[in-house]
Structure 1
Amino acid sequence: MEFTISFLWISLILSFLYLVKRKLSPGAGKTGALPLPLPPGPTPLPIVGNILDVGAQPHRSLARLARVYGPVMSVRLGLSTTVVVSSPAAAREVLQKKDQALSGRWVPDSMRALGHHETSTVWLPSGDPLRKHLRAVIATNIFSTLSLGATRAVLERQARELVANLRRCTGQPVR
């Protein structure tokens, strides 16, 4: 019992010190893909962020928060920072004028580990010249009529095997 109370007090003190440090240093804890400074928003709690502010009815909670913080606000959901746009005028500006800046995908660490994000058409931004070049190479060398014709026999054999397997499994679950 005494250990539990001590643990709770230590956790409370550490959380308080974290919040004080975050308030005193303006750029603390704001690293990542989003540009600084972030729009205003509710103060997040450590680890859970603003999940408790969003609650069970996020559309109503975010509308209530938008009345306080404005049509563009930042909300931390767990460890990810999200920018919420809640007015038609702000959404129009974001989606029409800032679309290239916001259209990039979040690249998982597993893709960054071996540098696959630098040479894959999936993870490169849509306006990147390398992505356009890679797509042209793929279209001319992999999906060209000549390349697809060369693999036609293999594709037909696989299709026949699939149909034969389905005929064998008629009336049974397909595995």
Structure 2
Amino acid sequence: MDITAFLRDNNLASPLFVLSTIFLLLLIFKQAKLVSSKNLPPGPPKLPIIGNLHQVGDRPHVSFAKLAQKFGPLISLQFGKQIVVVASSPEAAMGILKTQDRLLSSRIVPTAFQQASLIPHSLIWSECNPTWKSLRTLCRAELFSTKALEAHSRLRQEKLGNLLDFLRCKQGQVIDAEDVVFTTLFNTLSSIIFGKDLLDFKDEHGTQDELKESLRTIIKYGGRVKDLGSFFPMLERFDLHGIRKGTMKEFNKAFAYWEDIIEERRVLVTSSTWSSEQAQSFLDRMLENGFSNNQINQMVMVRFSSLSYF
């Protein structure tokens, strides 16, 4: 085939097309050179523009584990313009999370959690500013201190007793162990945070399944690897996959379960007759410190999201 005639017949020999092609190739080569020049761990070969996106399936942790078997416990991948280093062994993870934690503590906020109304109040995703420090101080004093853990021991024993009582009532019957454990753990946290249970073992209205599904969907959105907006910044604002919109929808569903409790306690805490000795839960402490609903919702979601894996 005559290449010159082919280009002319398909209008591929125009100056604009030639210049555009040259520019695109230069951009690709420049990016590839920039990536290769970095002192990065080994990793699989990369394709132009998309990098290693084609090698990550619907279960990224499985894909990363397979790649680690071939390239080692510390590998580098390229997703669009984003460079990702994956640690797949306890030793590599300890080097990142403990040995070099100060150098590597900054983090990229996943698309799902880039919510303008929520990020400033998040203990996980917000910047290390005075607000974040006050959140951390409150959590450390009210949730993780030795005194707090000892105070909650009676509550944990009570929830365990409720679980055993339910199992005795169901003796000889088939039960869903996953749902029973989820309810026990969820009620333990909700009692610490709100001072009351939010779920019932019988779950006659299907509340448990709805709430658990919302939590799982939020985590699923947060773990989405194949998001064009994250890998190509120029597309980020368009939310092409509907991740931010979908996550916010699930957030609102979950928040609705405890909105009435927050407002009820807010009325009591802000009344003239309130004293700090009357505080019964972590919610009361947050309200005493003037936390908004957005701040409270974020703090609650951090605690509850871990249960979505049950």
Greater relative contact order (Cα < 8 A, sep 6+): 2
Which band: TM-score by shorter chain?
0.3 to 0.5
TM-score w.r.t. length of structure 2? 0.30
